[in-house]
Amino acid sequence: MKKIVIIFAFILALSCNAQDTTKVLFIGNSFTYVENMPDLFRNIADSAGYKVKIQMYAPGGVSVGDASQGTQAHMNNPLVYDNIRSDKWDYVILQDNQGRFVLDYAQFPSTSLVIQGHQQIRDSVLKNNPCAKMVWFEGWALKNGLPPYGNTGIEMIERIAANYHFMNDSLHQIIAPIGGAWKKLILTNPAIDPWSADETHQSLAGSFLTAAVIYATIFRDNPVYSSAIGGLAANTANLLKQIAWETFSDSLANINLQSITPDLLWQNNLLIAGNYQHYFWYKDMQWLTTANSNILNINQSGHYYLIAQNALGCKLKSVSQHLIITKTDEFDNENTLNIYPNPANDFAYLDCNISDYSHCDLRIYNLTGGLVKAEKIAQNQQKINFNDLINGIYLVVITSDDITKTLKLIVQK
């Protein structure tokens, strides 16, 4: 029997667009500045359809909290705080001297206030914008290692990652898994060298890979869907973008993004989110202006995501979903799935008249995605009791084998 899917969207009106320009401030040193990594990030975002504003403060050789640098250290530098106060930044990327993270686990140089410096800058950022997110730049070090702090570049990358996670146990922000992407590139595609000739700084490929990881971390979207290549050969750029996305996806549960990333349940051609104040759904980078529900009916293939607004007024972006919907057909006259009257009061009738099948499965969800009723219904017209449902809007999913119909039900007693 052919597969038939019919989706009846139910969505409430909404009067404003949530996707404004995403503002990103980069604070770092030459590991941020070389090959103009922030501009590569912007190119990836622009070509994918995201509006961004970037700003960079990255004097060479500066660390977050080295005592020897005095007021040049980021935590003591008035120019750092001037940059923070210059706009309501959505994200601030803070890149420290990665050598401060290569000691044994939970160890930092005694002359460098690593955790205190990151905390102080974090607090300033959040005071300026309580909805801002700090992103720690978990990066790389020397290409050939430096015993006893790693015999290879990969060993140093692993040490850096471990200490960023240790630091974040107390600071609770976001980690960009840049070093993890470098490690994956080194192991799988050694012909592409992320280091420059000095074996310390990044090459163009390394900078582009870093930018792609930061893009994936901020937008929770696969940079492969961006056309940017950053001056690289297209096949190299696309490979680096895919490595960035795979690393981000593998790291998602460990980089503290889940707490600010709405979960989306994909079920029966529906995207279902949790409970927020407002819901802004997007398809192919276009705002679905009539959608203000936590359940979105999907009847076309496309690139979907949600920006949810929480009770504090902060906007939280979901991981983007690239969804493929099978072709829809009309029901034959003898094959009927329907529920009426609608609106209903204490009961309604269900038509479950599908050739070759003995029953239909009925599931009813509330607007927060909770299952409130589930029954197996024999073929032919059946009376469904709604005494246990309160007034409101529900989603009804009726299934018989591979045939599914989804529709809105209004209960009005």
pLDDT digit string (tens) for 249-283? 999 989 999 889 999 988 778 899 999 999 999 99
Under 8 Å between Cβ of 54 and 24:
yes
Q: What angle do CA 397, 401, 403 make, to 5 degrees?
A: 55
Q: What is the CA radius of gyration of the chain?
A: 26
Is residue 407 left, alpha or beta, with left meaning phi > 0 and alpha meaning psi from -120 to 50?
beta
Question: pLDDT (tens digit, 9 = 90+) per residue, 9-42?
Answer: 333 333 345 568 999 999 999 999 999 999 999 9
Three-class SS of 3-38: CCEEECCCCCCCCCCCCCCEEEEEECCHHHHHHHHH
- Beta-strand ranges (E) seen in 245-370 are 264-267, 270-273, 278-283, 286-287, 295-297, 302-309, 315-317, 321-323, 336-340, 347-353, 359-365
All structural domains of the chain: 22-259 (3.40.50.1110), 263-317 (no CATH), 336-411 (2.60.40.3080)
DSSP state of 261: S
Question: pLDDT (tens digit, 9 = 90+) per residue, 205-244?
Answer: 999 999 999 999 999 999 999 999 999 999 999 999 999 9
> What per-residue confidence (pLDDT) applies to 18?
59
Residue 285 tokens read as 């980078």
> What per-residue confidence (pLDDT) applies to 29?
98
> What per-residue confidence (pLDDT) applies to 389?
84
The single residue listed with the structure tokens 């700090």 is: 134
For 21, counting Cβ atoms within 10 Å of its Cβ (0-12 exposed, 13-18 middle, 19+ buried), the class is exposed
> What per-residue confidence (pLDDT) applies to 360?
77
What CA–CA distance (Å, rounded) separates 137 from 94? 6
What CA–CA distance (Å, rounded) separates 161 from 168? 11
Average pLDDT, integer, range 308-326: 88
What CA–CA distance (Å, rounded) separates 92 from 135? 6
107 pLDDT exceeds 70? yes
> What per-residue confidence (pLDDT) applies to 333?
37
Question: pLDDT (tens digit, 9 = 90+) per residue, 149-172?
Answer: 999 999 999 999 999 999 999 999
Closest by Cα among 149, 79, 179, 63 to 114: 63
What CA–CA distance (Å, rounded) separates 226 from 50? 10
Question: pLDDT (tens digit, 9 = 90+) per residue, 110-138?
Answer: 999 999 999 999 999 999 999 999 999 99
What CA–CA distance (Å, rounded) separates 340 from 408? 11
The β-bridge partners of 378 are 359
Question: pLDDT (tens digit, 9 = 90+) per residue, 328-380?
Answer: 333 333 445 677 787 888 888 877 765 555 677 788 877 656 678 888 877 55
Under 8 Å between Cβ of 39 and 13:
no
What CA–CA distance (Å, rounded) separates 81 from 78? 5
- The order of strands in the sheet holding 295-297 is 264-267, 270-273, 295-297
DSSP state of 295: E
> What per-residue confidence (pLDDT) applies to 408?
75
Closest by Cα among 222, 126, 212, 219 to 177: 212
Buried b (16+ CB within 10 A) or exposed e, 370-400: eeebeeebeeeebebebeebeeebbbbbbbb
